Chains A and B, each alone.
Chain A
Amino acid sequence: MRNPLGKKIVDIKPSGIRKFFDIVVEMNDPEVISLGVGEPDFDTPWHVREEGIYSLEKGRTFYTSNAGLMELKVEIDRYLKRKCGVSYDPANEILVTVGGSEAIDLAMRAMLDPGDEVILPEPCYVSYKPCVILADGVPVTIPLQEKNEFKLTAEELEAAITDKTKILVLPFPNNPTGSVMTREDLEPIAKLCIEHDIFVVSDEIYGALTYGTDHVTIASLPGMWERTVLINGFSKAYAMTGWRLGYACAPAEILAQMLKIHQFAIMCAPTTSQYAAVEAMRNGDDDVEMMREAYNQRRRFLVHTFREMGLDCFEPFGAFYIFPSIKSTGMTSDEFAEKLLKEEKVAVVPGTAFGDSGEGFLRISYAYSLEELKTATERIARFVANHRAFREQ
């Protein structure tokens, strides 16, 4: 028999997170506490769930138009105006997708020709690189630096730009580091993008979750709207991960091609989720604020607790992750995570799952109750102290 598989997909390495997930699942130990989850611990607000139920009761069980419900797209435009000061025409500049992840894939496939280079600042979410490769693009990674709080600097970007650079992926607030880019941080990046005629795919799925500073989209900077694909969604802000709903906003020319792929591959995003999302955007600001405040409290607790353990931890101002350095323990990220799991039964994700530059770091999620965080960090502190004592012997 011939090889049934295509070379391109076979050559893509499975996600580093998957590897660690398998180890945890294999242990099958009920005492394991995980701080490894990339989704909110809150339930979707009841009024949003109730709206989904209502839409089913009313028999709204059909396809919507390919790009999504018009009333949802209108709400998305209102939301972006209200929160970020950017506007998109609901008729042809907004596309409702199956999660932000689909939008990332669509953007790459719609914009890349074979050999085009896509700049990925790492550590970052696991799907950009495979999506670029599947779209015949060439990923060019920039290892972000802890000393810059894992922000992308103009120098780093400029050094990575070549004649073939077409897209810069801008994943802020960042998973896994929690790093955010302020307006001042974005301005020199925007300048370079305009100078070198580069497009930006801005993944702002954590945009609603920033602490002490408001999220700024690069699309709101002069000259950037026309060269930015803004990606956002409902998963993180409204605790709606399982509803699988995101959106992409872009100039009509780009969006039309993304819509074409979406139309053939997906048809439309789930109808029930779209009705629920309308309610979330109309009446959900208070829920987001409540969750944001809870995350903020846990964020402060974790940063404080890890520093108290003697581990370096820069203060992240977005998403729901901290990214402490474990270099002082002498272990690699993988070693630390595996030993911690075996010895203290705490699951965390090694920074290397998000790119080589994550070596020496861990991603710790604070999408957990304060009680759970306390128990887990007590175990981690004991682990760090034990290994430190061992090293000093």
Chain B
Amino acid sequence: MSEMKEKILSVIEKNSKISIRDLAIVLGEKEEDVAKAIAEMEADDTICGYHTIINWEKTNRERIVALIEVKVTPQRISGFDHLAERIYKFPEVDSVYLMSGAFDFCIMLEGKTLREVSRFVSEKLSTLESVTSTSTHFVLKKYKEHGTEMIPDKKAERQLITP
């Protein structure tokens, strides 16, 4: 991957709102080159999406986030990937990781109610043939997500003018 693409990614990873024009200026590149590089990375799925980090606690929306540890018996031919797909295709599943250690998949799940989450675990997840056990943990509070502090302490401490 070109150095320019690496630089683009490190900027937009933290600030996906930046315009292509500004991105070109801060990187000292030509606007059309940056636009082309981004288009290429979108096409080859290096860039998979642009999302917003939201502190839902500040809204009226009720959401429940759960972390589920899943143990499975991998299938002989398709291994873990096929199983993972069965799980991550559910829209309520936010993320799925294959893990080393005491369990196999780590799933982050979002639901509106406790019942919705428990129904997913008991009816959809546990019933998959290869799943041997699940363990569900509910998230009580998010402090930091994607490198961003959810309760930022942004008071300006600096004096207005210093030498």
Contacts and interface: CB of A to CB of B under 8 A. Distances in A.
Interface string B21-62: 010011110000000000000000000000000000000000
B25 A126 contact: no
Contacts of B163: 15, 17, 38, 125-127, 175, 353
A137 B18 CA distance: 52
B27 A297 contact: yes
Contact of A21 (B10, B25, B160): B160
B158 interface: yes
A23 to B, nearest CB: 9
Chain A interface category by residue count: 20 to 34
Contact of B159 (A37, A175, A298, A353): A37
A371 to B, nearest CB: 9
Contacts of B15: 370
Nearest to A17: B163
A305 B25 CA distance: 9
A300 B27 CA distance: 7
A17 B163 CA distance: 6
Interface residues of B, number: 15
Interface string A283-319: 0000000000100011011001100000000000000
Contacts, number: 55
A21 B159 CA distance: 9
A92 interface: no
Interface string B86-111: 00000000000000000000000000
Contacts of A301: 22, 25-26
B162 interface: yes
A38 B160 contact: no
B128 interface: no
Nearest to B153: A43
Nearest to B162: A38
A277 B10 CA distance: 28
A300 B162 contact: no
A20 interface: yes
Contacts of B162: 17, 21, 36-39
A142 interface: no
18 contacts: A20-B161, A21-B159, A21-B162, A34-B161, A36-B161, A37-B161, A38-B162, A125-B163, A127-B163, A297-B11, A298-B26, A300-B25, A300-B26, A304-B25, A347-B160, A347-B161, A349-B161, A370-B22
